[in-house]
Amino acid sequence: MKHTTRSMKTFSFILVFVFFKSAINAQVPASRYNMGKIFIDYIAIKNALADNDGTTAEVKANELAGLLASQPNKGLNYGQWKFLASHLEQLIDDSRSIGSTSYADKQRLFFAKLSKTMYTVLKRLKINTTPIYEQYCPRDKLYWLSETTTIKNPYHYRKDMIACGNVIDTL
C-alpha cells in the first residue's frame, strides 16, 4: 500500500510537471524565434550598406545565410514553417549573393531582393514583438526594412542621400 501511494504521488507530480511544461512552451517568447536573429542580421546588413561598408555587409550576409540554412523554423508552428520554407531558398540565395562580394554597389542589388522577400515573410508570420518599418526610396523605387522610423537609406553611399525615403508600412 505504501509503495502504491508513493507511485501515485510520483505519477501525479510527473503529470503536473508535463502540464506546466506544455503550458510554458505554448507561449514561446519572441527571443526564442530564430526569425528574430535573422532579422537582426538583416538589419546589420542594411546598416552596413547605409554606411557603405561592404566588408561588414559581406560578413553579416554570410552569418545570415548560415542561420537561414540551419534552424530558421525554431519557435514556429507548422503553418508558419511551411510558409517560411516556401521563401527560404530565395532568402538564402540573396544572402549568399551579398556575402560573395565586399563591393557595396553589387551587394545593394541583392539586398533589394532580400528586402522584398524578408518583408513578405515577416508580414505573414506576425511574430515580431516590436514594430518593423518598411521604408521606401522614391528616387530609386526601392524598399527595405528598419527597426526604427529614422531613414537610413542602404541604397545610397552619399551622405546627402542617406535620409532619402519614408516609412510606408509598419509590421
Q: What is the DSSP string of 43-79?
A: HHHHHHHHTT-HHHHHHHHHHHHHHHHH-TTTT--HH
Copy the grid coordinates of residue 142: 526601392
Query: Mean pLDDT, the chain, as a whole number?
Result: 85
- Among the listed residues 167, 44, 164, 162, the one whose alpha carbon sits nearest the alpha carbon of residue 111: 44
How many C-beta atoms lie closer than 10 Å to residue 166's C-beta? 12
Across 18-22, average pLDDT? 34
What is the three-class DSSP state of 134? Answer: strand
| Higher per-residue pLDDT: 14 or 127 | 127
User: 113-141: per-residue pLDDT in tens?
Assistant: 999 999 999 999 999 989 999 999 999 99
- pLDDT exceeds 50 at position 17: no
**Do residues 72 and 122 make contact, with C-beta atoms less than 8 angstroms apart?**
no
How high is the pLDDT of residue 107?
98
- pLDDT exceeds 80 at position 10: no
Identity of the highest mean pLDDT range in 11-15, 86-90, 126-130, 160-164: 86-90
Specify the residue for cell string 538583416: 42
**Do residues 64 and 42 make contact, with C-beta atoms less than 8 angstroms apart?**
yes
- pLDDT exceeds 80 at position 19: no
Beta bridge partners of residue 170, listed in sequence order? 133
How high is the pLDDT of residue 31?
53
Residue 156's pLDDT band (cuts 50, 70, 90): confident
Across 68-88, average pLDDT? 94
